[in-house]
Amino acid sequence: MNKTGDNFESAENIWLKSYGDVYKFENNMEEKSNFNSVNKAINKFARQANYLRLIEFLKSLNNEYKKRKATISELLQELKENIKDPIELESRIKKKEKEKTDMFNKSNEGIDTIFNKYTDNINGYIAKETQELEENYKNKINEFINLEELQIDNQTFDKMKKITMDTIEAAKHFRDLMIRTAIEECNEKLIEYMDKNDVEIFAPNFTESDFDNINNLAKEEHSGYKYVEEGVTFKKTTQVPYHNIKAHLKTIANSIKERLYKGYITKDENGETKQHKGIIEEIKDNIIDNLNSCRTIYTEKLTENFNAIKKEYEDLLKDKDDNEKNLQKIKDFEDKIKKIENHLENINNLEKEIENYVK
């Protein structure tokens, strides 16, 4: 039926009206059946459906790119927050490298330079000062030995005792000075570490009483009685006390020099003998032992610090390597974001263009 409710004209009538013209018949039939309008509408719907599906695909792709961009942007922000200034990092590396070199030099050369200055057997402070101390004492003792017998009295022995005790005190003072000065120099030039060493300090076992004992023994050795004949016709033998004061003084001098420099032998209650170094030599050895202990302690501390600085230096190098890798990652992420933004722009433009076809 047509729009007015009437039946469509039959194909037979249309054919008769076409007078046998097939082409005219087809056109008339299409016109009567409204086929062209329906076909046109179907084709339009089919094209719009394809475009709509393409638009949906583009929107989905757009969303995926946005998610990808958000993920990369988050990673990029985290990297940027943890990135270190390459210039500042390089400066720290150079500074730490210098610290490492300085500590290495202190551990291998600086410490030897300091301690050799004290302990060298020829030119070291200890050798020179103890030698000078010995020479000064010997010269003073020789002045006593060279005195004429009439120039010797009890004050002479008192003076010898004072010079001897002063020399021992000078050696003890020198011992303390060398140890303190060496530690102070190490603290100043190497590393601030300690105030004193725990090595036992040698205390000379020689007092004024020891000097008095030597004096008394020497006096006994060179004193006594001798027989003297008196008279001419009638001779008489008499015991006369004598005291060889010059020999007495020389014996003291030799004994003291043995105790102070040459070394001496003692005998215990069992009769066993023991050889001792001179007091000054003992003090000299004690100073060197103390300083060698200091050298070991400072060497260990310097080595420990060197290893710590070396570790810090290696950590900084690793930080630099990681930092450079992160900087490259930042560049890669920024490039990816830029590409994604280009893709998003292309998708948006394409989507707008397709939407114009659907309208």
Specify the pTM: 0.62
* Domain residue ranges of the chain, discontinuous segments joined by +: 11-84+335-358, 110-213+246-312
Query: Which of 28-32, 202-206, 275-279, 339-343 is the most confident on average?
Result: 339-343
Length reported for the chain: 359
154: which 2 tokens? 């009890």
Residue 333 pLDDT grade (very low, low, confident, very high; cuts 50, 70, 90): very high
Check residue 44 and give its pLDDT: 58
Residue with tokens 């004690």: 286
pLDDT tens digits for 217-243? 888 888 876 766 665 665 666 766 667
Using the predicted structure, report yes or no on whether residue 19 has a pLDDT greater than 70: no
Q: Residues 196-221: pLDDT tens digits?
A: 555 566 566 777 888 888 888 888 88
User: Does pLDDT of 336 surpass 90?
Assistant: yes
